[in-house]
């Protein structure tokens, strides 16, 4: 394999590089673009200047290696050609499909030669990318040599040297197709768009957290332990109902002005209830929260919230 320089002038002037080999019109491998008819579209916008039969490279005396005719290579984007192939597997698949070869019975010598021609071109174009292709080249060469070896008759079960490569090619082809299928799915930002309608403001709510009574009581226990201020030794059960009653009395007086004293008592509660109410009133008077007013002796007593001076 001799060194073959790329005719830089041809590329630089943006000419269409064509292939002088048997296959006159080579479409990129199926799936390079969605359809054959549009395959050239991304690469050949607005009629590039045409120049026919420009030998791209000479391989063993024959102008074999060129780019597919419909690939327009912009002067500064030679890698488009390389990007056309997603790697050595893709290139191999392309070579096989292009010639309608049976993937299960690849003429390995022929394919290897063609593959090497492309690899030589790539070596000229971009060395670091060619490295990956070189690994495949080595594999192909190895298979080719193993195919040439006479196979012992008794070694029936020995695997075809191409078997692993075929498996890999098939596996790659499946996912190559899967990628096309994926691309064809209706998707957001292309086939569908998300919608968003505005919501009138003022309806945001804050969900209050749940509280367990136990949490409240535990907080109180800690508080009691921290500051032992509840030292009064009243009967505490009484104390609580007294305090509840004080709150009830206050609520009754809220916004009412004078309220007859007797209205603070509910006779149906019985003696105990009356006592608690009475104690609550006394307690509230003591704490300067309510006041009793009696216009004259024996007149009805009225109660009201203290409004201050």
Residues 75-94 that bind other proteins (CB under 8 A): 86-90
Number of residues that bind other proteins (CB under 8 A): 101
- Asked if 193 interacts with other proteins (CB under 8 A), we say yes
Nearer to other proteins, 30 or 66 (CB): 30
Specify the DSSP element, H or E, that contains 305. strand 301-305
Nearer to other proteins, 61 or 308 (CB): 308
Give the pairing type, strands 259-260 and 290-294. Answer: unpaired
**Which tokens hold the place of 86?**
């997603």
Within positions 132 to 191, which residues make up the interface with other proteins, using CB under 8 A? 132, 135-136, 138-139, 142, 157, 159-160, 163-164, 166-168, 170-183, 185-191
- Asked if 213 interacts with other proteins (CB under 8 A), we say yes
- Cα 236 to Cα 83: distance, rounded to the nearest angstrom: 87
Q: Which stretch binds other proteins (CB under 8 A): 10-18, 49-57, 117-125, 299-307?
A: 299-307
**Which tokens hold the place of 77?**
């984007």
Within positions 93 to 112, which residues make up the interface with other proteins, using CB under 8 A? 104-105
- Asked if 122 interacts with other proteins (CB under 8 A), we say no
Nearer to other proteins, 127 or 135 (CB): 135
Nearer to other proteins, 12 or 45 (CB): 45
Within positions 273 to 292, which residues make up the interface with other proteins, using CB under 8 A? 284, 287-291
Cβ(123)–Cβ(115) under 8 Å?
Answer: no
Nearer to other proteins, 1 or 216 (CB): 216
**Distances, alpha carbon 115 to alpha carbons 36, 64, 110, 188, in Å:** 23, 12, 9, 39
Instruction: Kindly tell me which residue out of 149, 199, 295, 299 binds other proteins, with binding defined by CB under 8 A.
Output: 199
Helix (H, G, I), strand (E, B) or coil at 302: strand
Nearer to other proteins, 229 or 299 (CB): 229
- Asked if 246 interacts with other proteins (CB under 8 A), we say yes
Nearer to other proteins, 214 or 271 (CB): 214
Residue with tokens 């105990």: 272
Q: Minimal distance in Å, beta carbon 225 to other proteins?
A: 8
Sign of CA dihedral 286, 290, 291, 293: negative
Q: How many CA within 13 A on the CB side of residue 36? A: 6
Helix (H, G, I), strand (E, B) or coil at 98: helix
Q: How many CA within 13 A on the CB side of residue 122? A: 24
Nearer to other proteins, 6 or 129 (CB): 129
Within positions 48 to 77, which residues make up the interface with other proteins, using CB under 8 A? none
R_g (Cα) of the chain, nearest Å: 48
**Distances, alpha carbon 42 to alpha carbons 34, 35, 186, in Å:** 11, 12, 21
Residue 148 makes CB contacts below 8 A (sequence gap 6+) with none
- Asked if 219 interacts with other proteins (CB under 8 A), we say yes
Within positions 220 to 239, which residues make up the interface with other proteins, using CB under 8 A? 220-224, 226-227, 229-230, 236-237
- Asked if 194 interacts with other proteins (CB under 8 A), we say yes
**Which tokens hold the place of 66?**
């060129």
Instruction: Kindly tell me which residue out of 47, 149, 203, 295 binds other proteins, with binding defined by CB under 8 A.
Output: 203
């Amino acid at each position: 394999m001799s060194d073959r320089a790329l005719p830089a002038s041809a590329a630089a002037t943006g000419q269409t590089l064509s292939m002088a080999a048997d296959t006159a019109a080579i479409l990129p491998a199926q799936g390079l673009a969605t359809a054959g008819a549009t395959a050239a579209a991304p690469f050949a916008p607005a009629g590039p200047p045409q120049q026919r039969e420009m030998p791209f490279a000479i391989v063993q005396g024959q102008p074999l290696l060129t780019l597919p005719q419909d690939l327009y290579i912009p002067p500064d984007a030679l890698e488009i050609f390389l990007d056309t192939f997603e790697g050595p597997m893709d290139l191999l698949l392309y070579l096989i499909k292009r010639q309608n070869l049976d993937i299960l019975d690849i003429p390995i010598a022929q394919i290897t030669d063609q593959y090497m021609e492309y690899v030589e071109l790539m070596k000229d174009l971009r060395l670091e990318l060619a490295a990956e292709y070189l690994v495949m080249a080595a594999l192909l060469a190895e298979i080719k040599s193993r195919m040439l070896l006479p196979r012992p008759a008794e070694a029936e079960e020995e695997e075809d040297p191409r078997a692993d490569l075929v498996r890999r090619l098939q596996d790659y082809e499946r996912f190559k197709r899967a990628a096309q299928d994926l691309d064809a799915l209706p998707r957001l930002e292309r086939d569908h768009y998300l919608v968003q309608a505005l919501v009138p403001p003022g309806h945001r709510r804050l969900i209050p957290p749940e509280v367990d009574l136990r949490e409240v009581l535990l907080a109180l226990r800690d508080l009691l332990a921290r500051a032992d201020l509840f030292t009064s030794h009243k009967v505490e059960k009484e104390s609580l109902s007294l305090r509840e009653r004080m709150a009830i009395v206050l609520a009754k007086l809220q916004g009412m002005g004078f309220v007859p004293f007797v209205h603070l008592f509910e006779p149906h509660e019985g003696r105990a209830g009356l006592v608690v109410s009475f104690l609550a009133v006394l307690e509230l008077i003591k704490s300067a929260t309510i006041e009793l007013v009696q216009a004259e002796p024996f007149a009805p007593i009225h109660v009201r919230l203290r409004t201050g001076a």
